[in-house]
Amino acid sequence: MMLGMAAVAAAPGSVANDRVTAKGVNVTYADLMQHRPARANAGAAVRSAKISVTSTGSASVVNASAAASLGGLMPLWTFDVRARRDGQHHQGAMVGTNPFNDPGTSRIPTRIVPLILRTHAIASAIDFNTGIVTTVPGVVTIDPTHTDNTCLQAPNNVPSRLFAQSPIFRSASFTFGGTYVGTTQYIDAFQRANFYNVLGSNLNDYHVLLNPVRTEEDGVFIDVPANEGLAFTDPLFFGPPAFCPPVQIIDINWLDSYINGTLLPRLAEEGVGPSSLPIILIYNTVMGAPVNDLNSCCILGYHSFAGQPVPTQTYSVIDFDLSQFFIGPGFSDSAIAAHEVGEWANDPYAVNEVPPWGHTGQVGSCQENLEVGDPLTGTTVAPVLMPNGFTYNLQEMAFFSWFFGGPSIGVNGWYSNNGTFTTDAGPVCP
């Protein structure tokens, strides 16, 4: 999902949340109140929008001076491009080596940190006119490191293990529009397709890999304050079709404050620094603010950074969702991770401005950042069957050329990796 330095208006039909963010965290937001009637149609597309949120946590837990002792910064390359879409120069930084003149292999150490979340409120009723949820006391714990025989089946019934075996972290064969781009991780395959026509004969030399990948087997237990989280335990709470309970909602501001103030410092003590990517894994859990108002639900993930005044530590929070709370593969299992990690690779510090674009994917108005997932939120590529026997969903994403215009440098002359976009973003969004 995305980071942006200004608030973004919500799409028509959703509640406007035009709040300037303290850290510039922009999120992917699936509008649950709009999704409710779509559930009744059993397969109708989820309409989505974007809101901005404010973290009150420390944004300076990892500073520039600490970077050296933690292994330095991750590999980055910079660009300065004159966009065909607006005739202006735009600069930015991306993860890896420069595909235009110095293609090579980059490996980013990655730590998967599952959160074991215990909430103390259970949804008992909802006013569909206001979106306000009434709760009763009740303890619910969702633990992605333990077996889940309700939403999953053996042997693929440990969510954190299943997540780590996805094409985000393990290799699979990727062919886009008949063009083979490699047997590799999905984000690496996307980047190779993204710059396919400039890589040319150097294609085999270019990689952006999450490696090595380590999962914290025991996870991190968090006892969520009663007012910062709730759980849905009735599979028919919103009417048919049923979802797989429980599903939790956690306040994103509280969670991000916890991550910055407690979790990232602990990881830094363990050697997880600016050269690494911590992925904070939540399972069948979404975010909102406040949690009892479904007009702010549901945030399924985001990527962000710590470090002031110079951003250093990047991280991402990702829902690995198998609850069927949302209809469609675009919000299931590793589709959200594809969106988030793809955006992290292309805009790690949320500073990459592009000519304004909008009115596509999850964006109901206009925005001007290089967030490759947002234009195609909910749209997937062909599902991938992995050696563990599980079939994973992956989101399609927009290419570099879609944002800046001109002839595509992407695979097949496309502007996205499954060919949904065959032209660029068009005239500058007013």
**Dihedral, 280, 286, 289, 292 alpha carbons, nearest 10:** -140
Percent of the chain with pLDDT over 70: 83
Measuring CA to CA, which residue among 228, 338, 225, 290 is closest to residue 53? 290
pLDDT at 102: 87
More reliable by pLDDT, 176 or 326: 176
Band the pLDDT of 73: cuts 50, 70, 90: confident
pLDDT at 21: 37
| Range 68-96 average pLDDT | 86
Give the DSSP per-residue string, 230-264.
Answer: EEE--TTTT-SSP--S-EEEEEHHHHHHHIIIIIH
| Range 391-412 average pLDDT | 97
Q: How many folded domains does the chain comprise?
A: 1
Does residue 2 form part of some domain? no
pLDDT tens string 175-218: 999 999 999 999 999 999 999 999 999 999 999 999 999 999 99
Mean pLDDT estimate for the chain: 86
Q: Which of 278-287, 335-344, 347-356 has the lowest mean pLDDT?
A: 347-356
More reliable by pLDDT, 430 or 339: 339
Q: Which of 57-66, 167-176, 358-367, 408-417 has the lowest mean pLDDT?
A: 57-66
| pLDDT at residue 282 greater than cutoff 80 | yes
pLDDT at 56: 43
Does residue 103 form part of some domain? yes
pLDDT at 6: 21
Phi then psi for 33, rounded to 5 degrees? Answer: -65, -35
pLDDT at 10: 24
Does residue 428 form part of some domain? no
Helix, strand, or coil (residue 344): helix
pLDDT at 295: 86
Band the pLDDT of 38: cuts 50, 70, 90: low
| pLDDT at residue 3 greater than cutoff 90 | no
Range of the structural domain that residue 294 is part of: 28-413
Does residue 232 form part of some domain? yes
| pLDDT at residue 57 greater than cutoff 50 | no
Place of tokens 């009417």: 239
> Are 202 and 96 in contact, with CB atoms under 8 Å apart?
no
| pLDDT at residue 255 greater than cutoff 70 | yes
Does residue 274 form part of some domain? yes
Quick one: which H or E segment has residue 170? none
More reliable by pLDDT, 3 or 380: 380
| pLDDT at residue 320 greater than cutoff 60 | yes
The two beta strands, 247-251 and 229-232, are antiparallel
> Are 233 and 135 in contact, with CB atoms under 8 Å apart?
no
Does residue 18 form part of some domain? no
Q: d(Cα 153, Cα 343) in Å, to the nearest integer? A: 31
Does residue 163 form part of some domain? yes
| Range 139-167 average pLDDT | 97
Does residue 268 form part of some domain? yes
Chain centroid to Cα 88, Å, comes to: 29
pLDDT at 239: 86
pLDDT at 72: 65
| pLDDT at residue 128 greater than cutoff 90 | no
pLDDT tens string 13-28: 222 222 223 455 666 6
